[in-house]
C-alpha cells in the first residue's frame, strides 16, 4: 500500500524531520530538514525510507562520534588520579595505577575484602566485589524465588529432591501421588506437573467407554464376557456365530485388527475356504471378486490371483507394488472361491515368491503370454 503525504509527515515528525519536497514513493529521494541540529536545518536530499527509519544524518553522525570518543577514552592510558575518580565510591585502591593489565590491590569498603584485580574491569565505575557485589545480590534473588518455586511445586503435588541451581540447570523431583522420581534437564519455573500423572489423566479423558467398545464388537458379531477395564487390558470374548469362547491379552487386538473370532474370521485365517460357508451361511449370498493382477516394481514383475470383497482402492493400497487389473470375475462368493482354487491348482508350478512381503504373497505367479490368455478366457467364460 502506498503511503499518503499525511502519513509520511507523521513518520518524519517522530524522527524530528520536516518534508520540503513532493513525495513519489519509498525508494525515491525527497528533501528533508532537521528541527534539532544546525547542520540539518538546510534542506538536503535523502530517500524517503532512510528518512523515516534512520532520521537526520547529521544527528546520527554526532551520536556516532560520542560512542567512538567513549571507546577511545576507555582504551587510552589514564593517570592514577583519573583512575581513582572512575572507581566506585565503595572501592579503594592500595597501589598506584600503571596500566589496564597490571594488577592492583583493591579493598571493598562494605565488606573489607582485599583482592588483586585487573583495573580494566573497574573502569566502568561499577561495584565489582565478589562477596557483596552483583553476584551476591543475584544469589539473594535466587533464595527469594526458591520459596515461590516450592509453593508452585506443592500445588502440583511435587517435592524437590536436589538443590536448585538455576532455571536452566537440571533438578531432581518426586511426585506425592504416584511416587515417581525423575530429573528435569531444565528446572524452569515449577509450573509443570508430574509427567506420569498427566499422561494418566490424558488417557482417562480420551478413554473409550464400555458402550462404544460393545458397539464395535457387535459389528464383528462378538460379545464381551468379562468386565471392561481398558483396551490395553486382557478380556474374555465369545463369537455369536460359532459360539466359541477365547481370551485376549489385549482387547485392542480384536477392536482394531481382527474382523471376527479366531475360528471364523476371514482376516485371521488369511483366505476364503469352503468351511467358512458352513460356519457362516450368510456369506453364501454375498458378492465377491476373483481377480487377476499384474504387479510391477523397479526390481521385479509378477502376476497375482486372488479373491476379495473389498472395494478396489482398499485392496490395491495393501499391495506394495504398481498394480494393474488385467481381468476379474464378479459374482457370488462360493463361485469366486471355486474359481480361485481351480486357478491355483492348475498353475501351481509357476508360483513365485516376491521380494516384498504383503497379504497374499502365496498367491503370486510368473506367467508367459499363453498362460495369461488362458487365465483371461477362464475368468470371462465363468457365468
pLDDT at 263: 63
Return the SS3 of 136: helix
**Sheet containing strand 158-160, strands side by side:** 158-160, 171-175, 181-184
Could you tell me if 22 and 84 lie in one domain?
A: no
CB contact at 8 A, 311 and 320: no
DSSP run (H or E) holding 252:
helix 252-252
Structural domain includes residue 71: no
Asked if the model's pLDDT at residue 49 lies above 80, the reply is: yes
* pLDDT (mean) for 6-26: 86
Give the domain extent around 332: 275-381
Structural domain includes residue 292: yes
Could you tell me if 301 and 376 lie in one domain?
A: yes
Q: How far apart are CA 105 and CA 49, in angstroms?
A: 54
CB contact at 8 A, 51 and 30: yes
Could you tell me if 327 and 304 lie in one domain?
A: yes
Q: How far apart are CA 368 and CA 50, in angstroms?
A: 78
Could you tell me if 92 and 16 lie in one domain?
A: no
- Terminal Cα distance for the chain, rounded: 72
Q: Which residue, among 238, 333, 240, has the nearest Cα to 279 in the 3D structure?
A: 240
pLDDT at 136: 52
pLDDT at 248: 86
pTM (predicted TM-score): 0.36
β-partners of residue 296 are: 301, 322
Could you tell me if 308 and 363 lie in one domain?
A: yes
User: Which of 222, 252, 269 finishes a domain?
Assistant: 269
| 154 pLDDT tier (thresholds 50, 70, 90) | confident
Assigned C-alpha cell, 65: 562520534
Asked if the model's pLDDT at residue 301 lies above 90, the reply is: yes
User: Which of 66, 92, 112 finishes a domain?
Assistant: 66
Whole-number mean pLDDT of the chain? 82
Instruction: Say which residues have a Cβ less than 8 Å from residue 206's Cβ, sequence separation at least 6.
Output: none
pLDDT at 42: 86
* pLDDT (mean) for 133-159: 74
Structural domain includes residue 158: yes
Over the stretch 92-144, which tens digit does the pLDDT of each residue have?
A: 888 887 777 788 888 888 878 888 888 877 888 787 777 776 555 455 566 77
pLDDT at 165: 80
| 322 pLDDT tier (thresholds 50, 70, 90) | very high
β-partners of residue 107 are: 92, 114
Structural domain count, the chain: 5
Over the stretch 246-283, which tens digit does the pLDDT of each residue have?
A: 888 888 878 876 556 666 654 334 456 777 777 777 77
| 9 pLDDT tier (thresholds 50, 70, 90) | confident
Could you tell me if 284 and 372 lie in one domain?
A: yes
Over the stretch 177-214, which tens digit does the pLDDT of each residue have?
A: 888 898 888 887 777 888 888 888 877 777 788 888 88
Could you tell me if 36 and 95 lie in one domain?
A: no
Could you tell me if 263 and 343 lie in one domain?
A: no
CB contact at 8 A, 245 and 227: no
Structural domain includes residue 130: no
Return the SS3 of 351: strand
pLDDT at 150: 85
Structural domain includes residue 128: no
Structural domain includes residue 116: yes
Instruction: Say which residues have a Cβ less than 8 Å from residue 162's Cβ, sequence separation at least 6.
Output: 170, 171, 172
Structural domain includes residue 62: yes
Structural domain includes residue 174: yes
Q: How far apart are CA 242 and CA 283, in angstroms?
A: 14
Asked if the model's pLDDT at residue 236 lies above 60, the reply is: yes
Return the SS3 of 17: strand
* pLDDT (mean) for 297-304: 92
Amino acid at each position: 500500500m502506498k503511503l499518503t503525504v499525511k502519513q509520511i509527515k507523521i513518520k518524519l515528525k517522530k524522527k524530528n524531520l520536516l518534508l520540503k519536497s513532493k513525495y513519489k514513493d519509498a525508494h525515491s529521494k525527497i528533501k528533508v530538514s532537521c528541527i534539532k541540529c544546525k547542520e540539518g536545518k538546510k534542506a538536503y536530499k535523502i530517500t524517503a525510507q532512510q528518512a523515516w527509519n534512520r532520521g537526520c544524518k547529521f544527528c546520527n553522525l554526532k551520536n556516532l562520534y560520542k560512542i567512538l570518543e567513549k571507546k577511545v577514552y576507555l582504551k587510552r592510558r589514564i593517570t592514577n588520579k583519573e583512575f581513582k575518580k572512575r572507581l566506585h565510591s565503595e572501592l579503594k585502591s592500595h597501589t598506584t595505577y600503571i596500566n589496564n593489565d597490571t594488577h592492583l590491590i583493591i579493598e571493598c569498603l562494605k565488606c573489607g575484602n582485599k583482592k588483586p584485580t585487573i583495573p580494566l574491569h573497574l573502569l566502568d565505575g561499577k561495584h565489582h566485589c565478589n562477596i557483596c557485589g552483583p553476584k551476591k545480590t543475584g544469589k539473594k534473588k535466587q533464595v527469594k524465588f526458591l520459596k515461590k518455586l516450592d509453593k508452585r511445586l506443592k500445588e502440583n503435588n511435587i517435592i524437590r529432591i536436589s538443590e536448585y541451581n538455576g532455571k536452566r540447570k537440571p533438578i531432581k523431583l518426586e511426585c506425592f501421588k504416584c511416587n515417581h522420581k525423575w530429573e528435569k534437564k531444565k528446572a524452569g519455573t515449577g509450573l509443570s506437573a508430574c509427567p506420569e500423572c498427566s499422561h494418566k489423566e490424558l488417557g482417562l479423558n480420551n478413554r473409550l467407554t464400555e458402550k462404544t467398545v460393545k458397539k464395535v464388537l457387535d459389528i464383528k458379531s462378538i460379545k464381551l464376557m468379562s468386565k471392561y477395564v481398558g483396551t490395553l487390558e486382557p478380556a474374555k470374548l465369545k463369537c455369536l456365530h460359532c459360539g466359541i469362547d477365547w481370551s485376549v491379552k489385549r482387547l485392542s487386538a480384536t477392536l482394531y485388527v481382527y474382523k471376527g473370532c479366531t475360528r471364523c474370521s476371514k482376516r485371521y485365517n488369511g483366505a476364503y475356504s469352503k468351511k467358512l460357508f458352513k460356519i457362516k451361511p450368510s456369506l453364501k449370498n454375498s458378492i465377491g471378486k476373483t481377480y487377476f493382477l499384474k504387479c510391477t516394481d523397479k526390481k521385479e514383475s509378477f502376476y497375482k490371483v486372488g479373491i476379495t470383497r473389498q472395494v478396489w482402492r482398499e485392496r490395491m493400497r495393501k499391495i506394495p507394488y504398481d498394480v494393474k487389473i488385467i481381468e476379474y470375475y464378479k459374482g457370488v462368493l462360493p463361485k469366486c472361491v471355486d474359481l480361485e482354487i481351480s486357478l491355483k491348482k492348475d498353475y501351481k508350478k509357476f508360483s513365485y515368491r516376491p521380494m516384498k512381503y504383503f497379504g497374499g504373497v502365496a498367491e503370486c505367479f510368473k506367467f508367459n503370454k499363453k498362460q495369461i490368455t488362458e487365465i483371461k478366457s477362464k475368468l470371462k467364460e465363468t457365468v
